[in-house]
């Protein structure tokens, strides 16, 4: 979480360039933001709580600037706690992504310093200030960083030397090499408008960045390392909403195009991926949040279409299953951002053991993209809305096609996906007003489905929680009566996914059980059924119908959020890239 952007160059307008960079990074955290600029040997700072929006900077001109968008961990969301933070002299400033786990203990050692904020970050400015008395800036940051526990990425700026030091362990930082200017940011996309020459800083590395030079060092030893410069080819971020009122709606509407791209470009990678699956007796699908529900759905695709068992595990739980891994295991990580700490941490651990790894990942050049042995780049394009939509759909399509490919029926999968795409185009035009009007003011909603519609229910519930702030629980239809049905009362809304597959009869019986207790049934199915109080028609696409049902859930969540006057692109308390544990 948190976005970092810095620039050392010759353009006197560096602060405005940094502000534009921060706007691209706001998906990483939008509690507060701040920009610092070097002026007359001091760092001047403009920082505020809230989103950047159309804010203008109140800063002097300067060619050396840096900034931050915050997702709060330590300290409330206030102007004072916003980054950058200064040392006592006002010459050294820091911005930070991560957590200093031993900050309370370190703070005790900094008694002679004046701390203003409640953050863990600020102490690092003071640590560097002390070390700077005897060391170069680079050495002061390196030695200071070695004192810290936890996963962090820092940018340290010194006004006098017009030098930025970037250092990381856990959270991403990317260096951009420009023409008489050098840059650093939390992701490559935000640098693309300025340069395509990039160095991905690895964990345990430090970069010394001046206007004309970038040098990289190993944090542990201080040894200088060779620069590994890459030329990135992907398109600049399409950060415009075009004619859409929100990124969430734009990204949902792009889903048919995303799947067409998969059909056009990913066949070879999918068949290669399927071969890897065949070569491993045990395959785990590891992911978090929506991506985990895609993994769960993938396991259903594989058991039905390919008759192969894949084991889905939530990223944060995977360390507890690790002991079952052996040389016949393949661990496939699924992620939009490719930076989620709950998957990056286990990935690093199992790589040390020589376990084979693969990924379905949307962000090119992300940590996941770079670390795995084999990857499928989903190419769904940048997802700006914090809630994941098109990347989720892309993962489902790749997993569905892989299941067909596993059974040597890739062409049948292609045909079905084409039909799905055509159905999705119709679904996007559907009017959902009746159900939106019924659900928007509800406090609790239950969602059920069986078989592959079980992960669909979990995902639908997550979308309603995060975009609409409605307490929504997803269950498998069969599990409901083992306890949770106690919550069903007169008027309790229940969404039922009832595709015409092997789950149909049983899930309709579950709907009857709910209705008998006063529940109101919102049926999502191809045909109306007498048990439904409200009905949304969902055109079916055989074994890939789950994709249509996920699309409908995303649209429902979007429309309910709008009806409630919420911003579905930036829901409260969330950030797009979850890089802290």
| Closest-approach residue to ligand F6R (CB) | 289
Q: Considering only residues 336, 453, 503, 510, which one is a binding residue for ligand F6R as defined by CB under 6 A?
A: 336
Which residues are CB-neighbours of 37 under 8 A, at least 6 positions away? 14, 15, 43, 44, 59, 60, 61, 62, 64, 65
Closer to ligand F6R at the Cβ: 117 or 288? 288
* Known active-site residue 576: yes
Nearest partner of 198 among 386, 64, 369, judged by Cα: 369
Q: Taking CB under 6 A as the rule, which mask of x and - marks residues 287-326 in contact with ligand F6R?
A: -xxxx-----------------------------------
Q: Taking contact as CB under 6 A, which single stretch among the options 4-12, 162-170, 264-272, 283-291 is the one that binds ligand F6R?
A: 283-291
Nearest partner of 524 among 474, 576, 572, judged by Cα: 474
Q: Taking contact as CB under 6 A, which single stretch among the options 44-52, 335-343, 490-498, 500-508 is the one that binds ligand F6R?
A: 335-343
Closer to ligand F6R at the Cβ: 211 or 370? 370
Peptide bond into 129 cis (omega under 30): no
Whole-angstrom Cα distance, residue 185 to residue 203?
Answer: 15
Does position 335 interact with ligand F6R (CB under 6 A)? The reply is yes
Four-point Cα dihedral 429, 432, 434, 437, nearest 10: -130
Strands 205-209 and 163-169: antiparallel
Q: Taking contact as CB under 6 A, which single stretch among the options 273-281, 334-342, 402-410, 562-570 is the one that binds ligand F6R?
A: 334-342
Site size toward ligand F6R (CB under 6 A) is 13
Does position 337 interact with ligand F6R (CB under 6 A)? The reply is yes
Does position 387 interact with ligand F6R (CB under 6 A)? The reply is yes
Which residues are CB-neighbours of 392 under 8 A, at least 6 positions away? 290, 291, 293, 294, 336, 459, 550
DSSP symbol at 8: E
Whole-angstrom Cα distance, residue 550 to residue 452?
Answer: 11
Whole-angstrom Cα distance, residue 338 to residue 365?
Answer: 8
- How deeply is 301 buried, as exposed, middle or buried, from its count of CB atoms within 10 A (0-12, 13-18, 19+)? buried
Residue 284 β-bridge partners: 311, 331
Closer to ligand F6R at the Cβ: 347 or 494? 347
Catalytic residue among 23, 138, 250, 576: 576
* Known active-site residue 88: no
**Distance in Å, CB of 125 to ligand F6R, minimum:** 30
**Distance in Å, CB of 360 to ligand F6R, minimum:** 10
Does position 25 interact with ligand F6R (CB under 6 A)? The reply is no
Does position 578 interact with ligand F6R (CB under 6 A)? The reply is yes
Closer to ligand F6R at the Cβ: 288 or 545? 288
Q: What is the DSSP string of 24-51?
A: HHGGG--SEEEEEEEETTEEEEEEEES-
Whole-angstrom Cα distance, residue 201 to residue 225?
Answer: 11
**Distance in Å, CB of 293 to ligand F6R, minimum:** 8
Q: Taking contact as CB under 6 A, which single stretch among the options 11-19, 29-37, 332-340, 403-411 is the one that binds ligand F6R?
A: 332-340
Closer to ligand F6R at the Cβ: 26 or 540? 26
Half-sphere exposure of 311 (CA within 13 A, CB side): 16
Does position 553 interact with ligand F6R (CB under 6 A)? The reply is no
**Distance in Å, CB of 228 to ligand F6R, minimum:** 24
Closer to ligand F6R at the Cβ: 24 or 207? 24
**Distance in Å, CB of 117 to ligand F6R, minimum:** 27
Closer to ligand F6R at the Cβ: 399 or 578? 578
Plot region of 369 (φ>0 → left; ψ -120 to 50 → alpha; else → beta) = alpha
**Helix or strand run (H / E) with residue 83:** none
**Distance in Å, CB of 508 to ligand F6R, minimum:** 29
Whole-angstrom Cα distance, residue 531 to residue 520?
Answer: 9
Does position 466 interact with ligand F6R (CB under 6 A)? The reply is yes
**Distance in Å, CB of 443 to ligand F6R, minimum:** 21
Whole-angstrom Cα distance, residue 528 to residue 549?
Answer: 15
**Distance in Å, CB of 460 to ligand F6R, minimum:** 11
Q: Strands across the sheet with 282-287, in order? A: 311-314, 282-287, 329-335, 356-361, 374-377
Whole-angstrom Cα distance, residue 81 to residue 520?
Answer: 46
Q: Taking CB under 6 A as the rule, which mask of x and - marks residues 388-417 in contact with ligand F6R?
A: x-----------------------------
Q: In degrees, to the nearest 5, what angle opens at C-alpha 179 toward C-alphas 177 and 180?
A: 100
Residue 552 β-bridge partners: none
Closer to ligand F6R at the Cβ: 198 or 378? 378
Q: Taking contact as CB under 6 A, which single stretch among the options 4-12, 206-214, 333-341, 431-439 is the one that binds ligand F6R?
A: 333-341
**Distance in Å, CB of 362 to ligand F6R, minimum:** 7
Does position 579 interact with ligand F6R (CB under 6 A)? The reply is no
DSSP symbol at 513: H
CB 448 within 8 A of CB 510: yes
**Distance in Å, CB of 299 to ligand F6R, minimum:** 17
Does position 73 interact with ligand F6R (CB under 6 A)? The reply is no
**DSSP three-state, residue 358:** strand
Q: Considering only residues 340, 476, 510, 541, which one is a binding residue for ligand F6R as defined by CB under 6 A?
A: 340
Does position 385 interact with ligand F6R (CB under 6 A)? The reply is no
**Distance in Å, CB of 458 to ligand F6R, minimum:** 11
Closer to ligand F6R at the Cβ: 306 or 368? 368
Q: Taking contact as CB under 6 A, which single stretch among the options 62-70, 137-145, 282-290, 317-325 is the one that binds ligand F6R?
A: 282-290
Does position 472 interact with ligand F6R (CB under 6 A)? The reply is no
CB 404 within 8 A of CB 307: no
Binding stretches for ligand F6R (CB under 6 A): 288-291, 335-337, 340, 387-388, 462, 466, 578
Positions marked catalytic:
2, 576
């Amino acid at each position: 979480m948190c976005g970092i952007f810095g620039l050392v160059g010759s353009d006197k307008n560096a602060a405005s360039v940094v502000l534009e960079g921060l706007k691209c990074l706001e998906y990483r955290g939008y509690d507060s933001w701040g920009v610092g600029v070097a002026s007359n040997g001091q760092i001047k700072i403009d920082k505020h709580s809230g989103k950047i929006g159309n804010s203008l900077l109140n800063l002097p001109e300067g060619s050396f600037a840096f900034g931050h968008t915050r997702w709060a961990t330590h300290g409330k969301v206030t102007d004072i706690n916003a980054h950058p933070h200064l040392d006592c002299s006002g010459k050294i400033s820091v911005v930070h992504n991560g957590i200093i786990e031993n900050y309370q203990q370190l703070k005790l050692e900094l008694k002679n310093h004046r701390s203003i904020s409640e953050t863990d970050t600020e102490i690092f400015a003071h640590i560097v200030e002390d070390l700077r008395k005897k060391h170069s800036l680079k050495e002061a940051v390196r030695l200071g960083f070695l004192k810290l526990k936890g996963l962090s990425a820092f940018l340290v700026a010194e006004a006098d030397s017009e030098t930025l030091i970037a250092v990381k362990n856990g959270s991403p930082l990317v260096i951009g090499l420009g023409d008489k200017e050098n840059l650093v940011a939390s992701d490559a996309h935000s640098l693309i408008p300025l340069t395509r020459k990039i160095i991905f800083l690895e964990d345990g590395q430090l970069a010394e960045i001046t206007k004309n030079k970038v040098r990289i060092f190993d944090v542990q030893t201080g040894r200088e390392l060779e620069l590994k410069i890459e030329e990135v080819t992907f398109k600049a971020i399409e950060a415009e909403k075009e004619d859409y009122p929100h990124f969430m709606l734009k990204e949902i509407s792009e889903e048919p195009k995303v799947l067409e791209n998969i059909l056009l470009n990913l066949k070879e990678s999918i068949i290669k991926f399927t071969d890897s699956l065949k070569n491993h007796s045990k395959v785990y699908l590891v992911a978090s949040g929506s991506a985990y529900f895609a993994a769960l759905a993938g396991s259903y695709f594989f058991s039905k279409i390919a008759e192969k068992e894949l084991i889905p595990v939530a990223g944060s739980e995977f360390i507890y299953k690790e002991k079952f891994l052996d040389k016949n295991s393949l661990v496939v990580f699924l992620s939009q951002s490719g930076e989620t700490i709950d998957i990056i941490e286990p990935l690093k651990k199992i790589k040390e053991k020589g376990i084979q790894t693969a990924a379905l990942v949307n962000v090119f050049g992300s940590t996941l993209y770079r670390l795995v042995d084999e990857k499928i780049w989903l190419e769904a394009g940048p997802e700006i809305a914090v809630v994941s939509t098109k990347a989720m759909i892309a993962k489902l399509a790749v997993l569905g096609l892989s299941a067909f490919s596993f059974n040597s029926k890739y062409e049948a999968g292609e045909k079905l996906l084409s039909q799905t795409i055509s159905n999705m185009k119709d679904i996007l035009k559907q009017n959902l007003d009746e159900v939106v009007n019924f659900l928007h003011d509800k406090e609790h909603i239950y969602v059920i489905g069986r078989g592959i519609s079980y992960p669909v229910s979990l995902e639908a519930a997550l979308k309603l929680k995060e975009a609409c702030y409605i307490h929504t629980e997803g269950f498998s239809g069969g599990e409901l009566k083992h306890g949770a049905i106690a919550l069903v009362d007169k008027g309790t809304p229940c969404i039922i996914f009832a595709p015409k597959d092997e789950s149909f009869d049983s899930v309709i019986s579950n709907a009857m059980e709910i209705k008998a207790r006063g529940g109101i049934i919102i049926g999502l199915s191809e045909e109306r059924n007498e048990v439904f109080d409200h009905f949304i028609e969902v055109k079916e696409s055989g074994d890939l119908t789950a994709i249509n049902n996920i699309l409908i859930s995303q649209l429902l969540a979007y429309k309910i959020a709008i009806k409630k006057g919420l911003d579905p692109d930036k829901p409260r308390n969330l950030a797009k890239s979850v890089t802290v544990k």
